[in-house]
Amino acid sequence: MAVRELEIKEEFMEQFNENIPSDSINKKVCVFGQGFVGLPLTLSFAFRGCETIGVDVDEILVKQTNEGMTHHTEMFHDVTIKEVLNIELNNGRYKATTDGGEAVRNSNNIIVTVGIPIKEGEYIIDYLKSACETIGANLKKGDLVIIRSTVIPGTTEELCLPVLEEKSGMKAGEDFYLAYASERIAEGLAFDEFANMPTIVGAINEASLKRAIEVLSVVCKAEVIPATNIKAVETSKVFENVQRDVNIAMAQEFARFTEGLGIDIFEVVKLANTHKRVNLLTPGPGVGGYCIPNAYHYIQPKAAEMDVDMGILKLARAKNAELPAFIASKAEGLLCKMGKSLNGSRIAVLGLAMKDYSNDDRISPPIDICKILIEKGAEVRAFDPVVPTKYSFKVDSQEDALKDADIVMILAKQHEFNLECSDLKSFMSENPICMDTKAIIDNNKAIEAGFEYWRI
Between CA 270 and CA 278, with CA 276 as vertex, the angle to 5 degrees is 60
237: annotated active-site residue = yes
- DSSP per-residue letters across 198-228: PEEEEESSHHHHHHHHHHHHHH--S-EEE-S
Please identify which of the residues 291, 370, 421, 434 carries the catalytic annotation: 291
445: annotated active-site residue = no
**How many CB atoms neighbour CB 64 within 10 A?**
14
Query: How do 177-181 and 199-203 pair as beta strands?
Result: antiparallel
Q: Which residues contact residue 244 at a Cβ distance below 8 angstroms, ignoring those fewer than 6 apart?
A: 281, 292, 295
Helix runs in 394-442, H state only: 398-402, 421-427
Is residue 391 a contact partner of residue 352, using CB atoms and an 8 Å limit? yes
Of 334, 359, 348, give the one whose Cα is nearest residue 413.
359
- Rounded to an integer, what distance in angstroms lies between the CA atom of residue 188 and that of residue 201? 23
Q: Which residues contact residue 160 at a Cβ distance below 8 angstroms, ignoring those fewer than 6 apart?
A: 112, 128, 132, 145, 147, 178
**How many CB atoms neighbour CB 22 within 10 A?**
7
Please identify which of the residues 237, 302, 319, 355 carries the catalytic annotation: 237
List the helix and strand counts (H, then E) for the chain: 19, 17
Catalytic residues: 237, 291
